[in-house]
Structure 1
């Protein structure tokens, strides 16, 4: 009886569901954004080139894509609680596997497992949040993403610092850093024990069929906007430290600090720009902010060292794209939001795989070309610059798709 009373007290006064979501987004941000400072070390330890590095990041996107394809079904079958345990648990185990991996192949498999868990976590948190944030939905969603932005902001600095720690006479390194950071996923598993399964509020017969969604031209433009926008967002997070270290001879600490500034702008943009987006409109906002990202990335490359700060400004441009697209899908497809989001995110996952492979390919091709013309040092710099120009072009394609979407909705008198 006393144990039951204690459990009821915890459920009443300790919002376990909120803790799972907020801490979940916190560890999600850490796991996804500690790779920036670690990538140059991984590349050195395994002796891989930029194309192989791009392939590694593509494996991550494949893991994310797989998670998109089955997490919804797993959640439906097993529930939010069990699926959350699986997501947190797989990420924790992957940290151990990354630590003990001694070949590029085994490391790739471990990294792949981490991103399967990462993708599962993103999907299950989104489903869980949509079910429990019935009141003040906009504010609560922004608050959730604030925790992701908060951990993303400090993740590169913490990761860079941890890799230099000395424990038992040895450097912790990037392997130990991943082990410790991914072990943090154990923390949100504790409040997960106390959550209650949210009730299903949408009847099956009321859901929009996928065929209806696919026949809407606006849907494909929205998919293009999200895909190009997220490629730009994640590519900056993945490649910026490597770029600054090798193209500008920055230290790991200084490069990680710049990445943290990028995520600081990213976090503040998601937290503060919501009211502006509501006033301007979703489609127009996507055009304006992706345009800021395009300008910042490309000009940041062309200006060289004086323009490096523009990469941080790009965080303001890419940050609103994902949540604004989600809001647009919810408003345009009120009877089929789940279907629209699932299909859109799945195709975005495919685009991420292709995008990561192309970035690595572009860097490698231009690196080899300029190496033959001007030497290895210049070749590496030009290769990395070409890769970031490609990232800027992805932001530009996002802007163009936004323009086409706005014109289409304007003709149909359906601008949101």
Structure 2
């Protein structure tokens, strides 16, 4: 598909995808550092706060399910533009409304935008860089890490100036508008197939061979990443008496480690092997979460981001290697399960904290990561067995 595009067009598309993922990381991770102020303003408990967040991941889940089909049918440009519009509407509402129901609705719309962002740029990069997709997917994910790193630092800075959490979100609208204008003038690659997804054959297309294991692995990964990023700030403040600025910096370090790991990992995952890289990374993340949660070495928790870093983009690259038909639809289903994980991860932490205390609630992340490791191990052994037979 890249052969039909000029070099300048490929470069602009790559910049657009990287910008989209920067915006993805920034928008998605403003909620963690602003959570304590939002709970205090509305005078609600952890569980209700988790229910508000739940709206975003319902939207993400729905978007990832539908946008893959829409991309195969109509192309990637409408999907990405729709993502930008949803982000603008959702962020505008979230920074304005004052009831839990309307805030949840706004996050639902934000989730629709983020879900479309998850599918669109990934599909574009895969179509542009077929032989180097592992490298470019990880480099694009670096931009997500950069946005995610800046989010808590930016939020913490504005909070230190006594700005409200709503003002923080309103600044985000400026970059969303810039992205929409940029994307309007881009020429996107056309889908290789203009066929509608056949729901009668969904099991044949999407659930054959090891695909269900990939879905489960990415679901548990996203559940853990968002469970940690959404609750790390308030966990450090309430359990370890860490200051507002220091806890925001800890979250920024978590995403800085994600960014650094993806930059380094982008150059080695292909050589080391996709599944071997995922398995190794998930094992080390178990150690940092366990030690950081159950000992006084809580400062290790942000370093989990380094080991988390390569898992999502490398799973995406591994799946795209296994199928070459209805790729956008298949990626949409993969990201749908990612959205399902993102939906339940922070929600489980929220209600675990509500019933058993914040310490135990945050430890739910360890169970989630262990499940991810289990499915990664099964996939790795299946791949090794297949290679031995061949």
TM over 0.5: yes
Q: Does 1:37 align with 2:33?
A: yes
**Structure 1 residues 126, 222: CA separation in 2 closer, same or farther (over 3 Å shift)?**
same
Secondary structure of 2:362's aligned partner: helix
The 8 Å contact of residues 87 and 120 in structure 1, kept in 2 or not, is answered as yes
RMSD of aligned Cα (Å): 2.7
Q: Does 1:164 align with 2:160?
A: yes
How far has the Cα of 1:120 moved from its partner?
A: 1.6
In 2, Cα distance between equivalents of 1:45 and 1:56: 14
**Structure 1 residues 223, 143: CA separation in 2 closer, same or farther (over 3 Å shift)?**
same
- Unaligned 5+ residue runs, structure 1? 1-9, 166-170, 367-382
The 8 Å contact of residues 296 and 313 in structure 1, kept in 2 or not, is answered as yes
Hey, what does 2:257 align to over in structure 1? 265
In 1, Cα distance between equivalents of 2:128 and 2:69: 19
- 1:97 paired residue among 83, 93, 97: 93
Q: Does 1:21 align with 2:17?
A: yes
- Unaligned 5+ residue runs, structure 2? 1-5
- 1:220 paired residue among 212, 220, 232: 212
The 8 Å contact of residues 288 and 300 in structure 2, kept in 1 or not, is answered as yes
**CA deviations over 1:254-298 (Å, ceiling 9, x no partner):** 001111111111111111023432233222222211111111112
Q: Does 1:354 align with 2:336?
A: no
In 1, Cα distance between equivalents of 2:246 and 2:140: 28
Hey, what does 2:368 align to over in structure 1? 394
> Which moved further from structure 2: 143-152 or 292-301?
143-152
| Mapping 1:307-318, distance limit 5 Å | 307-318=297-308
**CA deviations over 1:119-168 (Å, ceiling 9, x no partner):** 12222222233333457434333332221111111211111112333xxx
Hey, what does 1:131 align to over in structure 2? 127
How far has the Cα of 1:336 moved from its partner?
A: 5.2
Q: Does 1:331 align with 2:321?
A: yes
In 2, Cα distance between equivalents of 1:14 and 1:298: 43
How far has the Cα of 1:215 moved from its partner?
A: 5.1
The 8 Å contact of residues 282 and 328 in structure 1, kept in 2 or not, is answered as yes
Q: Does 1:140 align with 2:131?
A: no
**CA deviations over 1:171-218 (Å, ceiling 9, x no partner):** 431001111113310111222232113123347599995323555352
- 1:210 paired residue among 199, 202, 213: 202
The 8 Å contact of residues 50 and 364 in structure 1, kept in 2 or not, is answered as yes
**CA deviations over 1:8-63 (Å, ceiling 9, x no partner):** xx995894323321221111111011111101111111111111122222221101
Hey, what does 2:176 align to over in structure 1? 185
**Structure 1 residues 122, 415: CA separation in 2 closer, same or farther (over 3 Å shift)?**
farther
**CA deviations over 1:221-280 (Å, ceiling 9, x no partner):** 222211111111111111100111111111111001111111111111111023432233
In 1, Cα distance between equivalents of 2:347 and 2:363: 15
Hey, what does 1:294 align to over in structure 2? 286
The structure having more radius of gyration, on CA atoms, is: 1
In 1, Cα distance between equivalents of 2:13 and 2:109: 25
The 8 Å contact of residues 26 and 148 in structure 1, kept in 2 or not, is answered as yes
In 1, Cα distance between equivalents of 2:341 and 2:121: 22
**CA deviations over 1:69-94 (Å, ceiling 9, x no partner):** 22234434554333322221221222
The 8 Å contact of residues 19 and 188 in structure 1, kept in 2 or not, is answered as no
In 1, Cα distance between equivalents of 2:197 and 2:40: 54
Hey, what does 2:3 align to over in structure 1? none
The 8 Å contact of residues 297 and 311 in structure 1, kept in 2 or not, is answered as yes
The 8 Å contact of residues 88 and 117 in structure 1, kept in 2 or not, is answered as yes
The 8 Å contact of residues 90 and 107 in structure 2, kept in 1 or not, is answered as yes
- 1:404 paired residue among 371, 375, 378: 378
Secondary structure of 1:200's aligned partner: coil
Paired residues, number = 384
Secondary structure of 1:201's aligned partner: coil
- 2:105 paired residue among 106, 109, 127: 109
In 2, Cα distance between equivalents of 1:356 and 1:236: 8
Give me the TM-score of the superposition, normalised by structure 1. Answer: 0.84
**Structure 1 residues 282, 97: CA separation in 2 closer, same or farther (over 3 Å shift)?**
same
In 1, Cα distance between equivalents of 2:314 and 2:44: 37
The 8 Å contact of residues 206 and 335 in structure 1, kept in 2 or not, is answered as no
**CA deviations over 1:317-350 (Å, ceiling 9, x no partner):** 2111111111111222244543432222223322
